[in-house]
Amino acid sequence: MASQLDLAVSIDVGGSGTKIIYKFSSWEKPRFFLMSPEVEQISKTDFQRYQDNQVWNGIPRPEHQAYLEWNDSIFIIGEFAREFAAVDRIHERKYENALYKVLAAVGVILERYKVASKKPKTKNVKIFLDLAFLLPWNEYNDHKRFFSQLQEMFKTFQFRGQTWDVILTENFVCRPEGAGLLAVYTKIKGVEWFQNNQIALLMLGHRNTTLLYFDRGIRKSADSPLLGFSTLLDDVCSRVSGIGRDQLAQAISDSFYEGRKQVYVYDSSTPYTRRPTWKELNSFQRLAAARDESLRQREIEDLVQALIAARMNYWLRLSKWLDKNLPSMPAQVIIGGGAAFFIQPELEDYFNCVPTSTSDKKLVKGEYAPAFEPKRTYANEVPKPCAVMNWLPEISEKIGQTFGIGDGQDRELVFRLIDCFGMMDQLLDKIKEVKGGKNEKTA
C-alpha cells in the first residue's frame, strides 16, 4: 500500500442526516453515503458494560456501529447512538456535534476501504485529508474554531478501536449552507450572470431555513433561523399520539412518490403543483395503530387534520420571515433542501410562478416540472412581483449520473445532496489549484 493517501471529503451535517461525499485522489469519480444524525457521549465504563452484555452483534458495517474515543469518553455516532437513549440535539449549535460526525465519517471511509491502521514499529500510511464543510449562516463564525479543533482531534484519532495517521490539510473549504448549491450553479451560468442579476437562494432544511440574497453579486441579506421542517413535524406530533418525528417524515417523503400522479397533474389552464390526498395513500395508512378498521380511519383523519393545521402554521411563520428578509423580489430564486417539496404550492404562489415545459421536455403527468415561469397576467390585472423559481434539474441529473441514482423515489435524495455536491466541486477545484502552484501538501 502507498505510504501516502490523499482523501477529499465533503460533509453536510443536516438535521435529518449526515451527507458524505468522498474521493481518493486515484479515483475518477466521488462516492457518497449517509449517516443518521445522532451523537451521544458516554463513559468508557458504560460502553464496556454495554459491550460485555452483547451476546453477538453480527458483522455490522462501520457506519451502522460507529463510535470513537476522545478525552476519556466514548462518542457514539449515527444509528448506533439509539442503543444508548440518544438525546435530541437538533436545537444545539452544529459545530461541536459536527466534530464527532466528521471524525466518524472519515473513520467509516478508512475502514470500508481497508486503509492500514497504525501499527507499532512500522512505517504507517499518512492520510492527507482535504475537507469541505457547511454551517448555517448564523453559525458561520464558528468555522475557524471548528477547523483548529478538528486538526487537534485528528492527532489522536481513534475509531472503533483503530487509529490512523490523519493530517487535516489547509485545503479546508467552509461555507454557509446553500453556498455549495449556489457555487455549482454559478459555475454553469457564469460569474457575469451572477453579477448582473438579483438572486435569492432559499434552503429549506430539516433543522434550519436559510436565505441568501444577492444584488448584482453583492450579498444584501442573509439569515438562517431554526425554522426547519422539524418544527412542522414536532407540531404534528404534538397534536396526535403515538407517532414520532422520523416516522412521520418518512411517511411524508414516501407519499410524494406514491401520490405523484395526484401531485404532478398539470391539467388546468394555469398549472400548479398539488399535494397528494394523504388519507388515501399506503404511506399514511401504515401510521394508524388501531386494529379496528373504523378506529384506524379516524386516526388517519385526525393525523391529516393535524398535518394541515401544522402546515398552515409553518407557512405563516415562513412567509413572514421571507417578507422580513427579502429586500425585494429577486429575478430568480434558487430552491434547495428536502423540505421544499412539501410547501411547493405555497412557494409557487409566493413567488408568482407556475410549472412549464422547456424546448426539450414537456409537462408530463406524474413527473416533476422541468422549469417554472411567471404566471400569465391578463389585460385587466395589475402585474404582481415574481421571481422565476429554479430547482436545479440539470445539477440533479448530474448527481444522479455520478452516483448511479435513478429517477423516481430517489429524486428527493438527489436534491438533498446538491449542496454537499457543490462543496465537493469547490474543494476539488481548490486542490487542483494548490497542486498547480506547489508540489507538496500543506499540513
Domain annotation covers residue 411: no
For residue 145, how many C-alpha atoms fall within 13 Å in the half-sphere facing its CB?
11
Q: Which amino acid is at 89?
A: R
pLDDT for the residue 297: 92
Predicted confidence band at 213 (pLDDT cuts at 50, 70, 90)? Answer: very high
Domain annotation covers residue 182: no
Question: Is 295 in the same domain as 426?
Answer: no
Domain annotation covers residue 412: no
Question: Is 365 in the same domain as 251?
Answer: yes
378: domain CATH number?
3.30.420.40
Domain annotation covers residue 220: yes
Residue partners of 168: CB distance under 8 A and separation at least 6: 129, 131, 147, 150, 151, 154
Question: Is 212 in the same domain as 341?
Answer: yes
Q: Render 86-138 in DSSP notation, one character per residue.
A: ----TTS-HHHHHHHHHHHHHHHHHHHTTPPPP-TTS-PPEEEEEEEEEE-GG
Question: Is 192 in the same domain as 163?
Answer: no
pLDDT for the residue 167: 96
Domain annotation covers residue 200: yes
Question: Is 155 in the same domain as 202?
Answer: no
Map residue 169 onto helix, strand or coil.
strand
Map residue 243 onto helix, strand or coil.
coil
If one counts the domains in the chain, the total is 2
User: What is the rounded CA–CA span in Å between residue 63 and residue 101?
Assistant: 11
Chain segment 134-146, per-residue pLDDT in tens = 999 989 999 999 9
Domain annotation covers residue 415: no
For residue 424, how many C-alpha atoms fall within 13 Å in the half-sphere facing its CB?
24
Question: Is 142 in the same domain as 208?
Answer: no
Say what the pTM is: 0.92
Question: Is 122 in the same domain as 205?
Answer: no
Question: Is 205 in the same domain as 166?
Answer: no
Predicted confidence band at 376 (pLDDT cuts at 50, 70, 90)? Answer: confident
147: domain CATH number?
3.30.420
User: What is the rounded CA–CA span in Å between residue 209 and residue 325?
Assistant: 12
User: What is the rounded CA–CA span in Å between residue 372 and residue 346?
Assistant: 14
Alpha helices in 164-288, H assignment, sequence order: 179-189, 191-195, 229-239, 245-258, 260-263, 282-285
User: What is the rounded CA–CA span in Å between residue 125 and residue 7?
Assistant: 12
pLDDT for the residue 14: 87
Chain segment 138-175, per-residue pLDDT in tens = 899 999 999 999 999 999 999 999 999 999 999 999 99
Range of the domain at 342: 188-391
Residue 199 pairs in a beta bridge with 214, 332
Question: Is 154 in the same domain as 207?
Answer: no
User: What is the rounded CA–CA span in Å between residue 408 and residue 398?
Assistant: 15
Question: Is 28 in the same domain as 151?
Answer: yes
Which residue, 137, 129, 91, is CA-closest to 110?
Answer: 129
Domain annotation covers residue 306: yes
Predicted confidence band at 409 (pLDDT cuts at 50, 70, 90)? Answer: low
Chain segment 319-355, per-residue pLDDT in tens = 999 999 999 999 999 999 989 999 999 999 999 999 9
Chain segment 91-109, per-residue pLDDT in tens = 778 889 999 999 999 999 9
Asked whether residue 16 carries a pLDDT value surpassing 90, the answer given is no
Question: Is 172 in the same domain as 232?
Answer: no
Chain segment 346-358, per-residue pLDDT in tens = 999 999 999 999 9
Question: Is 111 in the same domain as 255?
Answer: no
* Cα angle value 199/343/423 (rounded, 5°): 45
Domain annotation covers residue 399: no
